[in-house]
């Protein structure tokens, strides 16, 4: 019995000693055992925290807003039934509305061609309430750019930016007059640039795509960046379930077309005279299996499907089934790429086309002519 108590005492003593060791460790009197470092799951560099600042949208709108105008148009339409059968007046009036922005203090205004197309009367109203009669200097239906002039001095102007340097994710701010609600501001981001298939194939405009809300009446108004510079002209809308997409003409293109309109009253578009199609490996296999006139490689590219007689392309020796690889050093992948690259040239100024024919690379020089205008 005494021996048993002795062993119990030893056991209790051991238990007491262990508990004291744990207490000393918890009190910081004993060093803790080394801990294993956790695994590294991110090696991103540290960055400075974001700092609160001024509202860039407010500042941008303050800069450009005073130069954004409402454009009201009146079109007089002949009504032959009214004259012959007394069904209404012989002349009917149609009214429309859009937006624009002043680019020169003496009254030069950019807007969309479709806003002022066929207008008999144009009224321009500034945010400060002043109103002027406007004159359409000219419009270009291919790019949907027009220029309006009012007789005035010292008007507020919008600063034009550089649309060539835009990147998706940047701020995109739209100002206009949707549904007659003057000086409406909406904001979003640039969703994409260079959208040549935004409103159909074969476009000559590399549109800026944004998610800023744009509605009827915004047409011709400015799309601006966070620095308060105009980077585009709001032009088109594509409605989609739950949301809509908006597209703007890049300001660099709008400026170039406007310069031509101010100089000559119309826009100039170089013309080659070829019919193009996007080539795919599947299409190439179909052509090679059914055509006896030519063989094309099973690649992606731009295929010449027809050359119009007596055109610059025919004179340069471009042939059906040629693949266009480059236009003046710019690589092209779609027919729209070719049109845009050609449109950057000038009528009467030679340009080089890099082609592929029967597996061989060759370069031709073609001198574009003025695109025939539709009567």
Q: Which residues does the annotation mark as catalytic?
A: 114, 144, 219
Which residues, listed in sequence order, are joined to residue 324 by a DSSP beta bridge? 302, 355
**CA-CA distance, 133 to 145, in Å (whole number)?**
19
For 6, the 3-state DSSP assignment is: helix
Asked if 101 and 251 touch (Cβ cutoff 8 Å), the reply is: no
| Residue 175 structure tokens | 């100002």
Q: How far is residue 315 from each of residues 111, 181, 273, 306, 307, measured CA to CA in Å?
A: 38, 53, 10, 14, 10
Exposure string (b/e) for 230-256, b if CB count within 10 Å is 16 or more? bbbbbbbbeeeeeeebbbbbbbbbbbb
**CA-CA distance, 195 to 329, in Å (whole number)?**
21
Asked if 307 and 274 touch (Cβ cutoff 8 Å), the reply is: yes
Q: How far is residue 233 from each of residues 36, 67, 209, 319, measured CA to CA in Å?
A: 60, 14, 11, 38
**CA-CA distance, 154 to 278, in Å (whole number)?**
50
Asked if 140 and 113 touch (Cβ cutoff 8 Å), the reply is: yes
For 249, the 3-state DSSP assignment is: strand
Listed residue (49, 110, 371, 133) closest to 248, CA to CA:
110
Asked if 220 and 202 touch (Cβ cutoff 8 Å), the reply is: no
* Phi and psi angles of residue 289, each rounded to the nearest 5 degrees, phi first: -80, -25
Asked if 191 and 245 touch (Cβ cutoff 8 Å), the reply is: yes
Write out the H or E segment, with its range, that includes residue 231: strand 230-240
Listed residue (272, 270, 258, 260) closest to 347, CA to CA:
270
């Amino acid at each position: 019995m005494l021996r048993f108590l002795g062993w119990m005492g030893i056991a209790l003593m051991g238990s007491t000693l262990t508990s004291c060791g744990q207490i000393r460790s918890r009190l910081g009197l004993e060093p803790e055992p080394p801990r294993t470092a956790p695994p590294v799951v991110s090696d991103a560099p540290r960055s400075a925290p974001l700092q609160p600042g001024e509202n860039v949208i407010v500042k941008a709108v303050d800069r450009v807003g005073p130069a954004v105008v409402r454009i009201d148009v009146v079109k007089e339409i002949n009504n032959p039934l009214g004259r012959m059968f007394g069904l209404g007046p012989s002349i009917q009036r149609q009214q429309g509305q859009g937006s624009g922005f002043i680019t020169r203090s003496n009254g030069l205004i950019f807007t969309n061609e479709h806003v002022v197309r066929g207008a008999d009367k144009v009224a321009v109203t500034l945010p400060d309430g002043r109103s002027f009669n406007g004159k359409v200097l000219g419009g270009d239906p291919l790019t949907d750019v027009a220029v309006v002039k009012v007789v005035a001095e010292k008007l507020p102007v919008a600063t034009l930016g550089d649309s060539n340097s835009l990147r998706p994710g940047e701020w995109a701010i739209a100002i206009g007059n949707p549904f007659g609600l003057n000086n409406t501001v909406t904001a979003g981001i640039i969703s994409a640039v260079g959208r040549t298939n935004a409103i159909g194939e074969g476009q000559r405009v590399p549109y800026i795509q944004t998610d800023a809300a744009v509605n009827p009446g915004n047409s011709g108004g400015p799309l601006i960046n966070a620095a308060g510079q105009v980077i585009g002209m709001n032009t088109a809308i594509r409605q989609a379930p739950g949301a809509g997409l908006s597209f703007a003409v890049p300001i660099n293109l709008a400026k170039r077309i406007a310069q031509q309109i101010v100089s000559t009253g119309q826009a100039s578009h170089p013309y080659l005279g070829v019919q193009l199609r996007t080539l795919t490996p599947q299409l190439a296999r179909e052509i090679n299996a059914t055509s006896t006139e030519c063989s094309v490689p099973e690649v992606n590219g731009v295929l010449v499907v027809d050359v119009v007689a007596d055109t610059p392309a025919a004179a340069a020796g471009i042939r059906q089934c040629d693949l266009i690889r480059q236009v003046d050093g710019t690589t092209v992948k779609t027919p729209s790429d070719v049109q845009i690259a050609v449109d950057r040239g000038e009528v009467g100024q030679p340009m080089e086309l890099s082609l592929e024919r029967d597996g061989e690379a060759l370069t031709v020089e073609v001198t574009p002519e003025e695109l025939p205008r539709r009567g």
